[in-house]
Structure 1
Amino acid sequence: MPGLSPVFNARTAEASPAVLGILVCERDDRPPFAESAFLRRLDRIGSRRGLRVMAFAPWTWDWREGTVKGWTWDTGERRWITAREPLPAVAYDRAWPETDDEKRRYRAALRRLRENAKLTLLNGCLPHKGKVYESLAKIGSLRKLIPPTALYRGPDSLSEWLNEYAGAAFLKPIAGSKGRRVAAVSERRDGTVALTGRLNDNRPFRIEAANRREAIDRLARWIGDRSYLMQPLLELNNEDGNPFDLRALMQKDADGRWALTGIAARLGAAGTVTANLHGGGTAAPAYGTLARQFGECRGRELLRKATDASFAIAASLETSFGRMAEIGLDYGIDRNGKLWFLEANAKPGRAAMASAGASAASAAAERPLSYAKSILLRLATTDNRCSPQGNGC
């Protein structure tokens, strides 16, 4: 492809303003991409709202014709069918590249597409966790929610951290997701060390080390040259001793205003260190979970605090990193009832919202389409398809 932006001529296809593209990563098996069931649901909702939903991988873009290899759901044949389609004006990123090579391919293709074509991303993206923490820590009301955090810089940095935080630490990838490749370190009085966490495929592990040096060396080999963050090992467990957290889903409504879709509790499996659903956790109603742990009055107060924090965090992240359509926010609550912000996800799952109530589960799928349609209507009248500021992935 030439280095200059392509010149669109009479043969260049024009995208319909009533089409929402869904960015995916194609695969050879069936279904042809992840979240097929969710995309079919978007297709059903979109058809009721006069919005056509089409999935495509960014590397299928043909700059000469202005088309992509589009996937649409054929209700009659009950299968995904494909055809060359005009590049949509707006795209909703639900791609899940798996390997490092696939991640590089996806990012390069999306960057090429955005630099050379008119495409608005519905949902922006966030930088790594360290930058998110730094940004939120600048706001006084949010600073107290963020656990002490430092960059892992090798064995000596972890040893110093253990000295400062009573022989315990939680390590997580600076750019990880779904609870994968996290590790908890806990020294015992006899000098032995328990290492627990999750592997890259989200399977839990538990290792007993004879002493701190053995534990630190094991972790150093496991981490390798990856970037990690260190935090205190907070006691984020329920009354049964199993991990639990809260997932809040913030989404833009049809008017472009932030709305809290719902808050659900996520309960981790026994013997694990995280509550992620991808790692075997289950979802539960937030209030009931908190009431059992802290009592009804304190449970309501914690929900209110999580709600207030979610609106403040969503607004702050959007100010710092560009326009967003939705953000998943995770909170931990320690044994003393202290609320902690754990992380934010600009490409959140929504399975937990079923436990937040029927209206939350419905809104979780409908709100992105309502917001997308409002953007498409505006673009149809202004043809101002500028990408969201500052959210290039």
Structure 2
Amino acid sequence: MPVICPASKPLVVPVVTASGTKLIRRATESPVLGIVVCERSGSPPFAEASFIRRLIRDGAKLGLDVFAFSPSTWDEAQDSVLAWTWRGGWIREARPAPSLAYDRAWPRDGAAYERHRTSMNRMRASGRLRLLNSKLPGKAAVLRALLRAPELRRWLPPTALYRGEASLTAWLDRCGGAAFLKPSSGSQGRRVIVLSRDSGMSGIVTVRGRTSSNRSYRLIGQPESEAIARIHRWIGNRTYLMQPALELQGLDGEPFDLRILMQRDGEGRWARTGLAARRGRSGAVTTNLHGGGEARNAQQYLTDLFGEREADSLLAELQDAADAVLIRIEESFGPFAELGLDFGIDRTGQCWFLEANSKPGRASMACAGEAAAAEAAERPLAYARHILLRSPWEGIS
């Protein structure tokens, strides 16, 4: 990609912290984009290190000064952060706090998430930091917003809030004896549950799912009342959604879904970056790559399942659905730079919208082609440059 604007020579300024440690604070005339991360011990010092290295490298080609930082390192008095940059290895140094940031933080557990959320809120409350991408609320709120759009309802599976053991029993009755439960605030397939009645034995069920650490489990021959009571204790006070256990399975009985990555380009316009099929392990309940799934070429995967003509029709419908969902999400929750939209297709060819992700991963885009994989990294940078170099009199895209 050609250089659009030249990188300026950095100005090096010494900074002495309260402890007397001398750090280097760099300021440049180039527009600056911070990448929000959660620091951790060891090497690399945060998740997605190779992706962030690519953002730093590709950002320089666009004339962007890109570095990673944790909001917990923000020094309000100096308005600086401890930044990570790559110069043959990861280097940590003090830098002026960025005004625009791309959130790629992945807290390891609940405690890390709370620390990150507190420090991020403190920094944003100062009015100093704007995020490149808006944040989605829980799945329940997103679904309520989508249900208000009549044109979307044909793609939305029947859904109800879990409201206790009786609600799950009634849902099993309504859905033919099989239910899928997922946390409203969950991600990467963690803590999902599939409960199904045994057709050969009255009052007996099978429970499958994934733990909070994303490990699969399967409990067979369980008395229904005991299983539902156990699920109720496990859910606790979390908000859960109940849906039918849709038959989203491939030729070998493996679960599959489709991820469409939608991103804004360097002029602020939405475009589809790539589409990939995600195939879970046989017997699994999710397709997430973090849970052992793998990505496949969507065109070929759907052709193998439905034939070439039907596959082409389904791909066109998926794009129509993605465009419609995107419009409604932005109307409801503000502007976004990118969204990962997940869809399922059942054995009858019915398309179902499953969920939206405002912090989509990049692993599946490799199966969408080299161009898609490259654009998945480059488009957020180009859009960030569009924002940073835009006249203050121009409106928000």
TM-score, normalization by structure 1: 0.91
Alpha-carbon distance in 1 for matches of 2:26, 2:47: 28
Alpha-carbon distance in 1 for matches of 2:42, 2:239: 32
Identical residues among aligned pairs (%): 51
Among candidates 291, 300, 306, match of residue 303 of structure 2: 291
State the match for 2:107 in structure 1: 97
State the match for 2:241 in structure 1: 229
Shift of the alpha carbon at 1:306? 0.8
State the match for 2:35 in structure 1: 22
State the match for 1:38 in structure 2: 51
2:248 alignment partner AA: L
Among candidates 361, 385, 388, match of residue 373 of structure 1: 385
Give the SS at the match of 1:331: strand
Among candidates 171, 179, 192, match of residue 181 of structure 2: 171
Give the SS at the match of 1:382: coil
Shift of the alpha carbon at 1:122? 0.4
Tell me if the contact between 2:26 and 2:94 (Cα under 8 Å) persists in the aligned partners: no
Shift of the alpha carbon at 1:209? 3.5
State the match for 2:164 in structure 1: 154
Alpha-carbon distance in 1 for matches of 2:123, 2:156: 36
2:172 alignment partner AA: L
Shift of the alpha carbon at 1:271? 1.2
1:342 aligns with 2:385: no
Shift of the alpha carbon at 1:322? 0.8
Among candidates 36, 51, 71, match of residue 84 of structure 2: 71
Tell me if the contact between 1:260 and 1:311 (Cα under 8 Å) persists in the aligned partners: no
Alpha-carbon distance in 2 for matches of 1:16, 1:226: 47
Unaligned runs of 5+ in 1: 1-11
Alpha-carbon distance in 1 for matches of 2:294, 2:171: 32
Q: Deviations over 1:32-81 (max 9, x none)?
A: 1111010011111112111121111111111111101111111xxx2111
Shift of the alpha carbon at 1:153? 1.3
Q: Structure 1 runs of 4+ off > 4 angstroms?
A: 12-17
Q: Deviations over 1:308-340 (max 9, x none)?
A: 111221121111101100000000111101000
1:59 alignment partner AA: S
Tell me if the contact between 1:15 and 1:86 (Cα under 8 Å) persists in the aligned partners: no
State the match for 1:9 in structure 2: none
Tell me if the contact between 2:30 and 2:65 (Cα under 8 Å) persists in the aligned partners: no
1:35 alignment partner AA: E
Change (3 A) 1:255 1:239: same
Tell me if the contact between 1:14 and 1:87 (Cα under 8 Å) persists in the aligned partners: no
Alpha-carbon distance in 2 for matches of 1:328, 1:208: 34
Unaligned runs of 5+ in 2: 1-24
Among candidates 297, 314, 323, match of residue 326 of structure 2: 314
1:62-141 aligned within 5 A: 62-74=75-87, 78-141=88-151
Shift of the alpha carbon at 1:100? 1.6
State the match for 2:288 in structure 1: 276
TM-score, normalization by structure 2: 0.90
CA RMSD of aligned residues (A): 1.8
1:213-252 aligned within 5 A: 213-252=225-264
Shift of the alpha carbon at 1:224? 2.1
Shift of the alpha carbon at 1:184? 0.3
Alpha-carbon distance in 2 for matches of 1:226, 1:383: 44
Alpha-carbon distance in 2 for matches of 1:46, 1:194: 50
Q: Deviations over 1:259-316 (max 9, x none)?
A: 0001100000111011111111110010111111111111011111111111221121
Alpha-carbon distance in 2 for matches of 1:101, 1:259: 36
Change (3 A) 1:13 1:67: farther
Tell me if the contact between 1:250 and 1:327 (Cα under 8 Å) persists in the aligned partners: yes
